[in-house]
Structure 1
Amino acid sequence: MGTAAVGTRLLGHESDAEMLAVRLAHAQRLGNMGWAEWHLHTGETIWSDQVYTIFGRDRAQGPIALSQLAKHVEPADVAALDQLLWSAVRGVEPVQAEFRIRRGAGSGDLRDIRVVLEPLAAPDGPIGLHGVIQDITGRRRAERMMSESRRQLLEAREQAAEERHVMLALREAILPDPACCRDLPHTSIAVRYVPAEKTANLGGDWFEAAPAPDGRLLLAVGDVSGHGLPAIAHMAQLRHALVGLAMTGRTANRLLDWLNELVLHQLTDTTATAIIGHLDPETRVFAWSQAGHLAPILVRDGVASRLDQPRGVLLGAAAGRPYELAITRLRPGDLLLMFTDGLVERRTRDIDVGLDLVLSAARDVPGRDLEAGLDHLLSDIGGPNPEDDACLLGVRILEPERRAGSESGSSA
């Protein structure tokens, strides 16, 4: 073989070695890792270029001797380093540990590193340590950020659950017990309050069903604008005001006049809707007024329809606008449904679609026990509203024989 051919082969080997070194260095940079050797007898220490980068150390300073390594480790993690070195020297298998170092002269940024060590074996025992060092700061920071995000999310969920519990307990303390409405004369009454599925959307829906001083039944539902504790507080003021004002025996439209003045002058930046009515259990006359509220639904002889709505503006919208009084004559077997807009209004559908669903479902209620009928109605229209509360007040006019049986049963 000629001299030129031999030279070419040598150059080829040299190029291969250089290429391998370049690729190895590139892999170390991509993985942010390097290798190191510490010889125990001679004290010699060898680092690859990437280890200098990880430690933020100038190559002119040379590598850090094994005996000096602890000075660059975060004090709280020195024990982990000691345990790693002890295990590596005494064992035969690779061992690893994670700890933190300060880059540069000790005042630099804190870095997380993983070190894998294995002994350099000799017949008389290990003569040194060979290791791979990797900077895992980015990964650990991402993990800590995810952990912190999970912690904050759990705290937010717990806080939301606690807030929901408090708000629901407050509502229950303010609103009457629906069970107290069941024994009103000549009627069967059932109420459903369905809270919004989202805690932040718990709002100011309310109802009232109670005997008035003159023997009539006071029936009302309403909805205060807004959500959360402010809406619940305003709801309590409005409902308690109605209960007090109703003791005067004045008509429903006059009661709305007074409530409008209250909202205008006492409940700042608040509006509300309401239906208030008086039902005479003897004559079955329902005298009612509304303030910007959806009209009640009357189910009679299997047909469900909305009552014609008297004029009345939103509470808190304007002063001096009279509220009209409507007269509806009910019959035995009739079912009257009063409700707030959370029953029919959803973000995912038009309110008219919701009203049609309620009208359709309402036709089946008279065929059932009233309590079960309201539950079926709520199920048929899609269940709880995620975005808003809903109140549903059902009033059934009892048939004469049922009234007599009920009265005789109670006297017994």
Structure 2
Amino acid sequence: MPSHLSADHPAAQPPGRGSVDALISQTRRLKGDVNAARGDAQEEGSDPQERWQRALYDLALHQLSDLDEHLAQLRDGPAPAPPAPDAVEPAGHASAAGTADGAPSGSLLSRVGSAEWDLLTDEASWSGELYQILGLDPAAAALTLDELPSLVLDEDRPKLTAMVTDCLVDARPIDGEFRVVRPDASVRTVHMMGEPVLDSDGSTASMWAVLRDVSELRRHRRTVRETRDSLHRHQQRAQTEHRLAAELQEAVLPPWRGPLRLPRRGPRTLDLAAHHLPSATSSPIGGDWYDALELPDGETLLSVGDLTGHGVAVTSGMAMLLGALRGMAMAGTQPGQLMAWLNQLLDATVQPALGSAVCCRYRPATRTLVWAQAGHPAPLLYRDGTGRTLHAPDGVLLGATTGATYGQAEVTLEPGDLLLLHTDGLVPGHVGTAAVDRLLDLAPRLGTVRTAQDCLRVVVEECGETERQDNACVLIAKVSD
């Protein structure tokens, strides 16, 4: 671009062709890599982070395409001058393979035009590309500086006027954007860079400018900004929901921490310890619970369970189930019937969900454990340094089948016996029988500790809390003499 500050200086020589070819090759390889990574991204989906990533890929590809064409121009020199206006097809009759000025449709050449306005003769000279950018007939006369604002959106006209005035009066370079309305009513964003051309006495004789259609670039950047803002809002909502779910879970789980003995009076009590193990990742709070409650008849209720899903809604559903379980147990409902009513309750909720649970009633007078389960891992019994899984009575997942019935099982415990109740996910990287086997392998170590709290410490140390992908709960009951 001519400059009033350097008009007498010789133009800089273009770089060697070989070095530019190398840059073009690097750019195209990078573009191919980005395009391949873009292809691996999910095309559909509502995840805000995926939408933001796709928008960044699209913006990067757009900018790399422009860089490729810039370097090609640097290597090959200026594009050929456009044909005379009377030899050019009207803008509305561009061929499908290219634009009216011969540039490929959508290429950088078709999005960059130039213009010069002579202040002495009030004449204007435009390149063919500029006519295309503005959607005008190349056969028409170029617009003067006074006529140019007629194409600009009303709210952007003061910006254009200020840029031109600063250039003509104060000899300041132009570098700004404005929006134009084409004859077909489409709106395009144009970036204009210009400088005054001075005559021999230092006054402004003309103004020369390059105008670039940056509509697609701005659209990609706007998409990146909008998806980034959406991602931030999603993260803030997720953080808020995580905090609310954690607070709700903290409120409904048993208030006791550390060791507990139930029933609180009399011999043959259970020494209890329990722990909730949160996920080591950023996954939301789940619906896991544990509970121990002394009942009016002197028996003790033990339960653990898990409602499928994550978040505040699931934690609220867990609180509802746990409240119902406590109420029915206090009323004397036996474990099998209790499970049936919990299944009916979950089946009748507005938002259907699935849950698993195990519920036990311990009778200290006879050291008898009566229990039922709903699609949940059975309790583990450790005795004399060995462990085994209790034989589970029939029971399907809560909420899976209307009118389901649940069986009961009964086992007599001995002094020193240890019961371990847990939810899925207690053993990271292990599910089903593999997780149970891992827990049963702890039998020799658990047989050497005296209290339920010490047993819990062994389990937590073995299962770990640093690599956990999901929430889990564990409840340990040790039968006293």
The interval holding the TM-score normalised by the smaller chain is: 0.7 to 0.9
Question: Percent same amino acid at aligned positions?
Answer: 31
Task: Report the Cα offset of residue 289 of structure 1.
Answer: 2.6
Q: Does 1:48 align with 2:132?
A: no
Deviation at 1:225, TM superposition (A): 4.5
**Counterpart residue number, 2:421:** 338
- Which of 289, 307, 320 is matched with 1:237 structurally? 320
Match of 2:391 in 1: 308
Per the alignment, residue 72 of structure 1 pairs with: 151
Shift of 1:183: 4.7
Counterpart residue type for residue 46 of structure 1: S
Q: Measure how far apart 1:78 and its partner are.
A: 2.3
Deviations 1:334-355 (A, max 9, x none): 4321012243587xx6533333
The alignment status of 1:177 with 2:255, answered yes or no, reads yes
Question: How far apart, CA to CA, are the structure 2 residues paired with 1:63 and 1:362?
Answer: 91
Quickly say closer, same or farther: Cα 1:18–1:222, change in 2 above 3 A: closer
- 1:147 maps to which residue? 225
Unaligned 5+ residue runs, structure 2? 1-76, 84-100
- Alignment gaps of 5+ in structure 1: 1-16, 401-412
Q: For residues 187-198 of structure 1, what are the structure 2 equivalents within 5 Å?
A: 187-195=270-278
Maintained 8 Å contact 1:189/1:396: yes
Q: Which whole-Å deviations, capped at 9, do the CAs of 1:46-78 have from their partners, x for residues lacking one?
A: 101011111111123211101222222222222
The question of whether the paired residues in 2 share the 8 Å contact of 1:273 and 1:293 is answered with yes
- Residue 394 in 1 paired to residue 476 in 2? yes
> Does structure 1 conserve the Cα–Cα contact (< 8 Å) formed by 2:358 and 2:374?
yes
Mapped contact 2:424–2:431 kept (Cα < 8 A): no
- Identify the residue that residue 59 of structure 1 maps to in structure 2: 138
Tell me which of 189, 202, 207 is aligned to 1:129.
Answer: 207
Query: 2:410 aligns to what?
Result: 326
**Alignment counterpart, residue 82 of structure 1, candidates 161, 165, 175:** 161
Change (3 A) 1:160 1:361: farther
Distance in 1 separating the partners of 2:228 and 2:344: 48
2:81 paired residue number:
21
**Separation of aligned partners in 2, 1:196 and 1:225:** 15
Q: Which amino acid aligns with 1:324?
A: Q
Checking the alignment, whether the CA contact within 8 Å between 1:286 and 1:330 is kept in structure 2 is no
Using the alignment, how far apart are the partners of 1:117 and 1:320 within structure 2?
80
Match of 2:188 in 1: 111
Q: 1:26 to 1:243 in 2, by over 3 A?
A: closer
2:454 aligned residue (361, 369, 381): 369
Q: Relative to 1, partners in 2 of residues 1:376 and 1:63: Cα closer, same or farther, differing over 3 Å?
A: same
- In 2 relative to 1, CA 356–77 (structure 1 residues): closer, same or farther, beyond 3 Å? farther
Deviations 1:175-196 (A, max 9, x none): 3224286354544422223456
Is 1:215 the equivalent of 2:292?
no
1:285/1:330 contact within 8 Å kept: no
Tell me if the contact between 1:40 and 1:128 (Cα under 8 Å) persists in the aligned partners.
yes
The two structures have a TM-score, normalised by structure 2, of: 0.67
Larger Rg belongs to: 1
SS at match of 1:369: helix
**Secondary structure class of the residue paired with 1:293:** coil
Any conservation in 2 of the 1:335–1:395 contact (CA below 8 Å)? yes
Q: For 1:390 and 1:269, locate their aligned partners in 2 and report how far apart those are by CA, in whole Å.
A: 22
Q: Please say if residues 82 and 128 of structure 2, whose CA atoms lie closer than 8 Å, have aligned partners that are also in contact.
A: no
Task: Give me the whole-angstrom Cα distance separating, in 1, the residues matched to 2:439 and 2:402.
Answer: 31
Correspondence list, 1:242-261, <5 A: 242-249=325-332, 251-260=334-343
Provide closer, same or farther for how the CA distance between residues 224 and 328 of structure 1 changes in structure 2, counting only shifts above 3 A.
Answer: farther
Say how many residue pairs are matched: 375
Return closer, same or farther for 1:208/1:320 CA change in 2, 3 Å cut-off. same
Higher mean C-alpha displacement, 170-179 vs 367-376: 367-376
Contact 2:425 2:431 in 1 (8 A): no
The answer for the alignment partner of 1:351 in structure 2 is 432
Deviation per residue, 1:144-198 (Å, 9 max, x gap): 0111111111112212222222233233333322428635454442222345678
